[in-house]
């Protein structure tokens, strides 16, 4: 699975959009981009995933560049409860079942 | 919203003792997983389980570890002879199909003394 690179930390003001970037320049055609988050020491929480089209659900939007070498997770109106470590993970459809977690981005939402 | 339930939330055990960590996955899910996170470190994959057998395991998942789905609802992780370095948060997860989003439980904190 392709390696991902994320900034170690970011800050965001409450109520504003949080845009979390992820680079995955070695991604191949059958690899999906997944986003999870981990609030304090709780279990990771699935947010969204996509292949090449932009995706939106009730939690977030995922924007994948046309060349698929990077993506951005957007939390449209961040709240204090969105403070967490956000993980961008690339995974092959039909390949290994495991999720390989990196260090992620620690997002702090400030009042 | 359906949840993955893990028990106990915290377990303290003596080195060399056997422990069993329990999980109740979401009822219609078919794929089951165990992950662990040593304090301050990354979340690490241990094992995946499908159709009543292990489908993938990591190097961490050695002969001291085993998994079982004894009754169609529970999914257990057994560590036969615990070591100090097994101290970690252990997370169970399940998914309805492979390569879909997982639902994780809230974890069991295992402390080996």
**A98 vs B48: CB contact, 8 Å cut-off?**
yes
Instruction: Please state, in angstroms and as integers, the Cα–Cα distance from residue A63 to each residue in A54, A87, A99, A111, following that order.
Output: 5, 15, 20, 26
pLDDT of residue A2: 66
How close B69 comes to chain A (CA, Å)?
Answer: 18
**Residues A5-28: what's their mean pLDDT?**
96
Q: By the 8 A CB rule, do B33 and B102 touch?
A: yes
What is the pLDDT of chain A when averaged over all its residues? Answer: 94
Is residue A98 within a helix (H) or strand (E), and if so which, with residue range?
none
Write the pLDDT tens digit of every residue in B29-82: 999 999 999 999 999 999 999 999 999 999 999 999 999 998 888 999 999 999
- A46 pLDDT above the threshold of 80: yes
φ, ψ of residue A81 to 5 degrees: the values are: -70, -10
Q: What is the band of B97 on the pLDDT scale with cuts at 50, 70, 90?
A: confident
From chain A, pick out residues whose CB is under 8 angstroms from the CB of B55: 97
């Amino acid at each position: 699975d392709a390696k991902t690179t994320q900034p170690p930390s970011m800050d965001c003001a409450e109520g504003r959009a949080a845009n979390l970037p992820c680079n995955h320049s070695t991604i191949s055609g059958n690899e999906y981009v997944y986003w999870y988050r981990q609030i304090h020491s709780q279990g990771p929480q699935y947010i969204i995933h996509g292949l090449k089209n932009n995706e939106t659900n009730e939690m977030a939007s995922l924007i994948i560049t046309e060349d698929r070498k990077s993506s951005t997770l957007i939390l449209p109106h961040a709240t204090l409860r969105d403070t967490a470590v956000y993980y961008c993970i690339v995974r092959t459809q039909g390949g290994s079942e495991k999720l390989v977690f990196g260090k992620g981005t620690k997002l702090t939402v400030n009042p | 919203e359906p949840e993955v339930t893990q028990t106990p939330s915290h377990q303290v055990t003596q080195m060399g003792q056997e422990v069993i960590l329990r999980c109740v996955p979401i009822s219609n899910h078919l794929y089951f997983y165990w992950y662990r996170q040593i304090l301050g470190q990354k979340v690490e994959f241990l094992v995946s389980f499908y159709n009543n057998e292990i489908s993938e395991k990591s190097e961490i998942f050695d002969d001291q570890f085993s998994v079982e789905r004894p009754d169609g609802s529970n999914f257990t992780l057994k560590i036969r002879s615990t070591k100090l370095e097994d101290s970690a948060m252990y997370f169970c997860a399940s998914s309805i199909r492979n390569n879909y989003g997982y639902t994780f439980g809230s974890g069991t904190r295992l402390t080996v003394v």
